Structure 1
Amino acid sequence: MRATRTITALAFSAASALALAGCATTSASSSSSGADATPAGDALQVVASTNVYGQIVEQLGGDAVEVTSIVTSAAQDPHSYEPSAQDTLAISNAELIVENGGGYDSFIDALIESSGSEAHVITAVEFSHDYPGGEEHSDEEHSEDATAGEDAAVAAEEEHAHAEGEAHAEGEAHAEGEAHTEGEEHSHGHDHIEGFNEHVWYDPHTIAYVAETIADELTELRPDDADVFAANLDAFTAEIDALEDSLSELASANDGVRVFVTEPVPVYLAAEAGLDNVTPDAFSEAVEEGQDVPPATLLESLDLLRADDVRVVITNTQTGGAETEQVVGEAETLGIPVIAFSETLPEGETYISWMQANIAALSDALAE
């Protein structure tokens, strides 16, 4: 029997690490990780639904942005978050809003409607190749887009504006920014979509396109800082490429290895690592919805672990229940490594360092 071991994601330090705000709806100015831009007093007001997207905006925007991340704590569940008056004020003052979408952070819809905000909105799920109506992005497109920042900066200096649709050439369904500019009703598809995993921030490839769009929007709003945004985007994209390289190496060594994922949050990352998620849909869906796992599904799940071909169990630190505890207990009894991933960015981490830590934890578990 393999030795029992529970692994948690290690904190990796990245050169671009930023200090994050310690509570919800607290503005967090960018640190010196990116190129410098406009002084903070004239900073663009950006609201992100969670600190995951907030940190990415900070890294891309540098001193040109002041970011308010609404959900910043592991104790806050974006699915059921109740907005405050302070959140409404932040949204009403925002020039750019970045959300996840797909039913994950639908409180943003309520805030936009109640505040009457006409800010541009970036919805991350719309850049996923799995999103209904979206388009799959090729590696060649990603490589070409990674070097397009300087061209965008030059164009911004010449025109000081661009069409909202052009900012989203990689996703035809993304057009809400233009609607807000015209003061039309905010009408995203934010209800949970059956069969679609909305936790797209665990897919670095999708985040690369989200980052490019954030840089485009910042350039439109502050064309004088276009060079800064382009430089910061280039640096961020290079780090994303490194994450994808690490995942490709894992896939080469572990293609088809079976894993059990108690909740859908890390599924994209596991798939990019070449792993085969064998979790019954009824199990992970029940855990995600905070419901009891059907007894037959729990028995099926335990039998999968006992079959001795599941190499790793992955949990979500922010959701669980009695059935998840049973699965974890059984895995530890059988000597199957257990690792835990979170939904929100741990304090003191950047998106890149956080994903590095998750990939490292997964690699260590597979190596046992």
Structure 2
Amino acid sequence: MTRRILAPLALAAASVLALAGCAGSAGPAATSDDGKLQVVASTNVYGDIASAIGGDLVDVQSIITSFAQDPHSYEASARDQLTVSRAGLIIENGGGYDAFMDAIIESSGTEAPVITAVEFSHDWPGNDGHGDHDHDADATDAASPSTSSATGGGSGTETSEASTDHDHAGHDHVEGFNEHVWYDPHTIAHVAEEIAHELGELDAANVATYQANYETFAAGIEGIEGSLDALKAQHAGEKVFVTEPVPLYLTAAAGLENATPAAFSEAVEEGQDVPAATLLDAGRIISSGDVRVLIVNAQTGGAETDEVISRAKAAGIPVLEFTELVPDGDTYLTWMQANVAALADTLAR
């Protein structure tokens, strides 16, 4: 199976460049010409969050901003390496999702602090808490699904302390862990808090501003969690089918049950052929009448994805498209709230 990359509503080929050259390193508190702290993020998801926390005090550059680029297979350019080498703070997803970041962090020689989002997930192997930067304990702490449990292959939420030792060589894909943690608002609250903390370390004169911006952002997260609680109260236990595990943290927080065969979503995500028996099983599940909504990744597709979409439409099951990047005109908060609202509207039909 070919995992094709799609631009919004249309096919688009991902444009990738080979990594070349070696840029010099910069100090950990690198600033732009106008004195702003330079923040580099792997995708515009983390770039937007950094902008929300840093405001006018930071200059944020996101390496991946186009729906035609796939972080899983992105090949960094010499310009990307130069950008990272000049950063005062670096933010990546980790967990094998944006492995190109680890490569350019290592090759650039940067000494900038690196925030790795997956380490703030309760599901991250060995994570039993969030240290000194603990998000409101009373906030919704949805059981964030690992890849295995979220795709019907197991349960449990292993936990351990988030490491502050950024061993970039250890950020390969972790079997059984769903790395798409930006769809878990609770995890993102911790990431945002860490961004505020690191910016305050780099720019002590503006600690109060970073903290105030974090609190505003955290209030937005609480609003999303409140919407998820309301959705859970109305639709807990209802089944969804996903072509990839991208939105599963969000659907789990909404109390929805994932009906997707693990082998199906894993194969689609890896760009592999879905086993014939698994494809038949998926068809039976969709045609059973138990699935309330099909969620697809709007940025990728393939023959098997097209087939389950056709089956869902034939069975009268609504199809929702979720993305891996913040759409133009949105912020992380408005985008995620819109995803929850679309899910609620669809399930209310």
TM-score (norm 1): 0.78
Q: Which has the higher contact order (CA 8 A, sep 6+)?
A: 1
Counterpart secondary structure, 1:312? strand
Residue pair 2:130, 2:161 contacting (<8 A) in 1 also: no
Partner letter of residue 70 of structure 2? D
Measured against aligned partners, the alpha-carbon deviations of 1:11-58 in whole angstroms (never above 9, x if no partner) come to: xxxxxxxxxxxxx9xxxxxxxxxxxxx998110011000000000000
Q: Tell me, in whole angstroms, the C-alpha distance in 2 between the residues paired with 1:285 and 1:118.
A: 35
* Cα offset, 1:274, TM superposition: 0.5
Q: Tell me, in whole angstroms, the C-alpha distance in 1 between the residues paired with 2:257 and 2:130.
A: 22
Q: Is it true that 1:255 corresponds to 2:244 in the alignment?
A: no
Counterpart position of 2:34? 41
Unaligned runs of 5+ in 2: 1-7, 9-16, 18-30, 140-158
Q: Tell me, in whole angstroms, the C-alpha distance in 1 between the residues paired with 2:204 and 2:186.
A: 26
* Aligned residues with identical type, % of pairs: 60
Q: Tell me, in whole angstroms, the C-alpha distance in 2 between the residues paired with 1:288 and 1:60.
A: 31
Counterpart secondary structure, 1:298? helix
Unaligned runs of 5+ in 1: 1-8, 10-23, 25-37, 147-169, 178-185
Q: Tell me, in whole angstroms, the C-alpha distance in 1 between the residues paired with 2:137 and 2:259.
A: 35
Residue pair 2:312, 2:319 contacting (<8 A) in 1 also: yes
Q: 2:111 aligns with which of 105, 118, 136?
A: 118
* Cα offset, 1:319, TM superposition: 2.1
Q: 1:205 aligns with which of 178, 183, 186?
A: 186
* Cα offset, 1:171, TM superposition: 6.7
Q: Is it true that 1:83 corresponds to 2:76 in the alignment?
A: yes
Task: Summarize the Cα distance change of 1:46–1:39 in structure 2 as closer, same or farther, 3 Å threshold.
Answer: closer
* Cα offset, 1:187, TM superposition: 3.3
Residue pair 2:196, 2:214 contacting (<8 A) in 1 also: yes
Counterpart position of 1:234? 215
Q: Tell me, in whole angstroms, the C-alpha distance in 2 between the residues paired with 1:337 and 1:175.
A: 43
Q: Is it true that 1:173 corresponds to 2:154 in the alignment?
A: no
Q: How does 1:48-87 map to 2 (within 5 A)?
A: 48-87=41-80
Residue pair 2:42, 2:91 contacting (<8 A) in 1 also: yes
Measured against aligned partners, the alpha-carbon deviations of 1:105-126 in whole angstroms (never above 9, x if no partner) come to: 0101111111111110000000
Counterpart position of 1:284? 265
Q: Tell me, in whole angstroms, the C-alpha distance in 1 between the residues paired with 2:165 and 2:39.
A: 16
Task: Summarize the Cα distance change of 1:188–1:216 in structure 2 as closer, same or farther, 3 Å threshold.
Answer: farther
Q: Which runs of 4+ in 1 moved over 3 A?
A: none
Counterpart position of 1:331? 312
Task: Summarize the Cα distance change of 1:290–1:173 in structure 2 as closer, same or farther, 3 Å threshold.
Answer: same
Q: 2:288 aligns with which of 287, 307, 314?
A: 307
Q: Tell me, in whole angstroms, the C-alpha distance in 2 between the residues paired with 1:81 and 1:205.
A: 27
Residue pair 2:294, 2:319 contacting (<8 A) in 1 also: yes
Partner letter of residue 246 of structure 1? S
Partner letter of residue 219 of structure 2? A
Q: Is it true that 1:354 corresponds to 2:335 in the alignment?
A: yes
Counterpart secondary structure, 2:221? helix
* Cα offset, 1:142, TM superposition: 2.7
Counterpart secondary structure, 2:241? strand
Partner letter of residue 173 of structure 1? A
Q: Tell me, in whole angstroms, the C-alpha distance in 2 between the residues paired with 1:40 and 1:271.
A: 44
* Cα offset, 1:145, TM superposition: 9.9
Q: Tell me, in whole angstroms, the C-alpha distance in 1 between the residues paired with 2:300 and 2:129.
A: 30
Q: Tell me, in whole angstroms, the C-alpha distance in 2 between the residues paired with 1:74 and 1:107.
A: 17
Measured against aligned partners, the alpha-carbon deviations of 1:289-327 in whole angstroms (never above 9, x if no partner) come to: 011111110100010011111101000012221111110
Q: Tell me, in whole angstroms, the C-alpha distance in 1 between the residues paired with 2:55 and 2:128.
A: 30
Q: Tell me, in whole angstroms, the C-alpha distance in 1 between the residues paired with 2:222 and 2:287.
A: 37
Q: Tell me, in whole angstroms, the C-alpha distance in 1 between the residues paired with 2:75 and 2:330.
A: 25
Q: How does 1:102-251 map to 2 (within 5 A)?
A: 102-135=95-128, 142-143=135-136, 172-176=161-165, 186-251=167-232
Partner letter of residue 361 of structure 1? A
Counterpart position of 1:266? 247
Task: Summarize the Cα distance change of 1:330–1:145 in structure 2 as closer, same or farther, 3 Å threshold.
Answer: closer
Partner letter of residue 162 of structure 2? A
* Cα offset, 1:137, TM superposition: 6.4
Residue pair 2:122, 2:160 contacting (<8 A) in 1 also: no
Q: Tell me, in whole angstroms, the C-alpha distance in 1 between the residues paired with 2:197 and 2:250.
A: 26
Partner letter of residue 102 of structure 1? G
TM-score (norm 2): 0.82
Measured against aligned partners, the alpha-carbon deviations of 1:68-107 in whole angstroms (never above 9, x if no partner) come to: 1000011000011011111011111011100000000010
The structure carrying a bigger helix percent of its residues is: 1
Q: Tell me, in whole angstroms, the C-alpha distance in 1 between the residues paired with 2:52 and 2:265.
A: 33
Q: Tell me, in whole angstroms, the C-alpha distance in 2 between the residues paired with 1:109 and 1:224.
A: 30
Measured against aligned partners, the alpha-carbon deviations of 1:143-199 in whole angstroms (never above 9, x if no partner) come to: 2699xxxxxxxxxxxxxxxxxxxxxxx97332236xxxxxxxx53521111110000
- Give the total of aligned pairs: 300
Residue pair 1:61, 1:218 contacting (<8 A) in 2 also: yes
Q: Tell me, in whole angstroms, the C-alpha distance in 2 between the residues paired with 1:39 and 1:106.
A: 26
Residue pair 2:239, 2:256 contacting (<8 A) in 1 also: yes
Q: Tell me, in whole angstroms, the C-alpha distance in 2 between the residues paired with 1:132 and 1:288.
A: 21
